[in-house]
Amino acid sequence: MENLTFPLYRPSFLFYLVCTPCTPMFAFNKEKDAKNVQKGKLEDRIHQLEYEILPEKYQRYEAIEDVLSEEFTKEYRETIGVPRYRQELVRLKKADVIRKNFGDSLAQSTKAMDGAQKKLLAARREYAERFKPCAFQIEVMDNTEYEEERRTLQESELPRYKEKIRAARESAMEQFQNDFLAKLKSSIDQVQDQVHNLNKALRQAQFGTDKYQFRVGPNPDYLDYYNMITADELMEGESGLFALPFQQKYGPLIEKLFSQITMADDTQLNVRKQSELQENIVRYTDFRTYLKFDLETTDQNGSKQLLSQTLNMKSGGETQTPFYIAVLASFAQLYRVNDATRFGNTVRLVVFDEAFNKMDSDRITESVLLLRKMGLQAIICTPPDKVSDIMPIADRTLLVDKSGYRMHIIPFGKEMQNEGSTGDPESSAG
């Protein structure tokens, strides 16, 4: 056999040739072209930002800065505006939202500012019209002229007016003492003297088994005012109302009372306030406001009762009795029936119409007897049904007989009472 020789092929070499991938040259060129295109776009974008967009943005930024500088001070921008914007940016994230929100607020603020400006101009016109001649400009935005005027008035004119006001107040307080508090005190002292004299008149007389005495004292609702009005310090010395001890004790109360009956300018009060002021004047200038009056009854056993406590529990006749007691005592005091001097020599005439209409016979009799005890001279006009009670203790009885438009007055006796009479008679005893 012929020996044959074959070339030796290594399997590993063949595997390498078959399995190792091969990248073609055209693929590298395509990727390079794509990167070049992207680079060109980026360079165009940078050029656009640098020469178009950013300059425009910077220009708008500078314009906004100029507007802000004109409308807002540097201090306001640094301390309020910018910090607030940053705060809202953190909260809302978007500038457009902030702009919208503040745009709505700006519209409201602008509207409010326009309204305030109109009021300012109206106030300026009123000032110029009221204080003529006034050369101040009304329409200008600058308020320097008016501020200087205010400063002048505040620093120079106002102190002078305050001094005048202080002097006027002292004068008013002095008059308040002399013409108001002093008169109230005098009236209270006078009425207490009158009540004392009334009780003297009542002490001489007795209504049946009962005795009566008037009582007068401070009204509990106005006790502080009563104590101030009747204080001895008020009329002592020259200072009186302005004396330090009196001011320390009653100063706030004086201010309160003074404010109740005075107003700085009552022409500016509404109707309700004016009505309250008038009511206060009537109330606080009446001395009776500070007093409480009552009538005390003492029966034969020494028990005492006040009329104010029993008035609602008594009958009509019982409530009329204190009325006649008070009236008769008042006449007795007025006519000075207990005055033994020539001043007590008075007419002592008392006239009653429709007298004793709610009282029973016993009370009517007691009333007439009390009238006699007090030394009063009475003319009593009474309906026919009361004649039988009064006529026996009257000095004279007359009958008034009315017939149409004619009237006759004739003496009236028991026989006529028994027979009766026609017409519409009225009896008068005196």
Instruction: Give residue 429's pLDDT.
Output: 42
Q: Rounded to whole angstroms, what are the CA distances from 40 to 30, 34, 55, 271? A: 15, 10, 22, 87
| Domain co-membership, 179 together with 300 | yes
Reading across the β-sheet that carries 304-306, which strands appear in turn?
211-218, 291-298, 304-306
| Domain co-membership, 185 together with 280 | yes
| pTM attached to this predicted model | 0.49
For residue 298, give the 3-state DSSP assignment: strand
Instruction: Give residue 263's pLDDT.
Output: 63
Q: What is the pLDDT of residues 67-102, one digit of tens each?
A: 878 888 888 888 888 888 888 888 888 888 887 877
- Look at 16-30, 47-61, 110-124, 255-269 and tell me which has the smallest mean pLDDT: 16-30
Work out the widest C-alpha separation in the chain, in whole angstroms. Answer: 208
Instruction: Give residue 253's pLDDT.
Output: 87
| Domain co-membership, 178 together with 216 | yes
Instruction: Give residue 146's pLDDT.
Output: 81
Instruction: Give residue 111's pLDDT.
Output: 82
Q: Mark which of 279, 305, 331 sits at the end of a domain.
A: 305
| Domain co-membership, 323 together with 418 | yes
Cβ atoms within 10 Å, residue 158: 13
For the cut 70, the answer to whether the pLDDT of residue 312 exceeds it is: no
Q: Could you please report the per-residue DSSP string of 16-68?
A: HHHHS----HHHHHHHHHHHHHHHHHHHHHHHHIIIIIHHHHHHHHHHHHHHH
* Cis peptide preceding 83, ω within 30 of 0: no
* Residue 207 DSSP label: B
Residues spanned by the domain of 182: 174-305
The gap between the terminal CA atoms of the chain, to the nearest Å, is 200
Instruction: Give residue 104's pLDDT.
Output: 74
For residue 299, give the 3-state DSSP assignment: coil
What kind and span of H or E run contains 350? strand 349-353
Q: What residues contact residue 177 under an 8 Å CB cut-off, 6+ apart? A: 234, 240, 241
- Look at 115-119, 149-153, 373-377, 422-426 and tell me which has the smallest mean pLDDT: 422-426
| Domain co-membership, 182 together with 297 | yes
Q: What mean pLDDT comes out for the span 173-177?
A: 68
Q: What mean pLDDT comes out for the span 316-331?
A: 76
Regarding beta strands 406-411 and 397-403, do their DSSP bridges make them parallel or antiparallel, or are they unpaired? antiparallel
| Domain co-membership, 323 together with 301 | no
| Domain co-membership, 407 together with 351 | yes
Residue 348 in any domain: the answer is yes
Indicate the burial class of 40 (C-beta count within 10 angstroms; 0-12, 13-18, 19 or more): exposed
| Domain co-membership, 349 together with 260 | no
Instruction: Give residue 10's pLDDT.
Output: 45
- CA nearest 372: which of 385, 354, 390? 390
| Domain co-membership, 267 together with 330 | no
3-state helix, strand, coil in the chain (%, to 5): 65, 10, 20
| 321, two tokens | 């009795």
| Domain co-membership, 207 together with 285 | yes
Domain count along the chain: 3
Q: How far apart are CA 150 and CA 386, in angstroms?
A: 81
Q: What mean pLDDT comes out for the span 3-31?
A: 50
| Domain co-membership, 321 together with 301 | no
Q: What mean pLDDT comes out for the span 235-242?
A: 61
The C-alpha angle 185, 190, 195, rounded to 5 degrees, equals 130
- Share the mean pLDDT of the chain: 77
Instruction: Give residue 5's pLDDT.
Output: 43
Residue 117 in any domain: the answer is no
Q: How far apart are CA 171 and CA 167, in angstroms?
A: 6
For residue 412, give the 3-state DSSP assignment: coil
Residue 349 in any domain: the answer is yes
Q: Do residues 140 and 124 lie in contact, with contact meaning Cβ atoms separated by under 8 Å? A: no
| Domain co-membership, 184 together with 281 | yes
Instruction: Give residue 188's pLDDT.
Output: 92
Instruction: Give residue 399's pLDDT.
Output: 85
